[in-house]
Amino acid sequence: MSILKEPWPWYVAGILIGLTVPVLLIAGNKQFGISANLRHICASCFPGKVSFFRYDWRKERWNLVFAAGILIGGYIAATFLSNGQDIKVNPELVQQLKSYGITDYSNMVPRQLFNFGSLLTLRGWVMLVGGGFLVGFGTRYAGGCTSGHSIMGLSTLQWPSLVATICFMAGGFIMANLILPFILAL
């Protein structure tokens, strides 16, 4: 049981994530991606006159079950398989984040940023509303999310997925190094 309470090396976790691609392809030529589930949920719950939601979402039920499994697995891991230790963070990053008032690493995300109290601040709204809009817009504009393009698309040698993954990475570097420090200083 102790093996489940410790972080796994990247080369083990990466291989296990990578194996989902051939399993899904063998299991019926299924395409992996998480962002499409929002479309499936909207199509199933609000089947109005919007043409984007008019399709047979029932064929994609397996993807909804897969996403539910991710949520349930995350809850089980965080609730029952936590080792009780603070998240290990690079000491240089700890010093940088301390200058923004972020010192609590007892959870997967810093409590100073992600709590209901911070939601009512300018920084909270910028991160939640602005970030949510950018992620939603970017996902739709790119034709998929990072899991769909970077895991599934690259493994099936799709050129658009390579371009999207490069843009995701560039955007992540710009956000982490240029924009996030500005937001954290708010």
* Per-residue three-class SS string for 25-75: HHCCCCCCCCCHHHHHHHHHHCCCCCHHHCCCHHHHHHHHHHHHHHHHHHH
Q: How many domains does the chain have?
A: 2
The answer as to whether 50 is a domain residue is yes
174 domain-assigned: yes
Q: Are 90 and 97 in contact (CB under 8 A)?
A: no
Structure tokens at 61: 């039920």
pLDDT in tens, 50-79: 888 888 888 888 889 988 999 999 899 888
Q: Are residues 6 and 53 in the same domain?
A: yes
The pLDDT value recorded for residue 72 is 96
Quick one: pLDDT at residue 128? Answer: 82
72 plus 129 within the same structural domain = no
Range(s) of the domain holding residue 32: 1-82
Task: Give the model confidence (pLDDT) of 97-107 as tens digits.
Answer: 888 888 887 77
72 shares a domain with 120: no
Is 103 domain-assigned?
Answer: no
Kindly indicate the confidence band of residue 163, based on its pLDDT and cuts at 50, 70 and 90: very high
Q: Are 6 and 66 within one domain?
A: yes
In whole angstroms, give the CA distance from residue 168 to residue 104: 28
Q: Which of 41, 60, 82 is a domain's end point?
A: 82
What percent of the chain lies above the pLDDT cut of 70?
A: 99
So what's the pLDDT on residue 71?
Answer: 92
Cα→Cα distances 90→32, 49, 94, Å = 32, 51, 6
Q: Does residue 108 lie within any of the structural domains? A: no
Q: Is residue 91 part of a domain?
A: no
Q: Quick check: is 181 in a domain?
A: yes
Least reliable range by pLDDT among 21-30, 110-119, 145-154: 110-119
**186 part of a folded domain:** yes
Q: Are residues 67 and 134 in the same domain?
A: no
The band of 36, judged by pLDDT with boundaries at 50, 70 and 90, is: confident
Q: Give the DSSP H/E element, type plus range, for residue 172.
A: helix 159-174
| Residues 67, 129 within the same domain | no
Question: What pLDDT, on a 0 to 100 scale, did the predictor assign at position 148?
Answer: 84
Is 92 a domain residue? no
Mean pLDDT confidence for 145-150? 85
Residue 7, pLDDT > 80, answer no
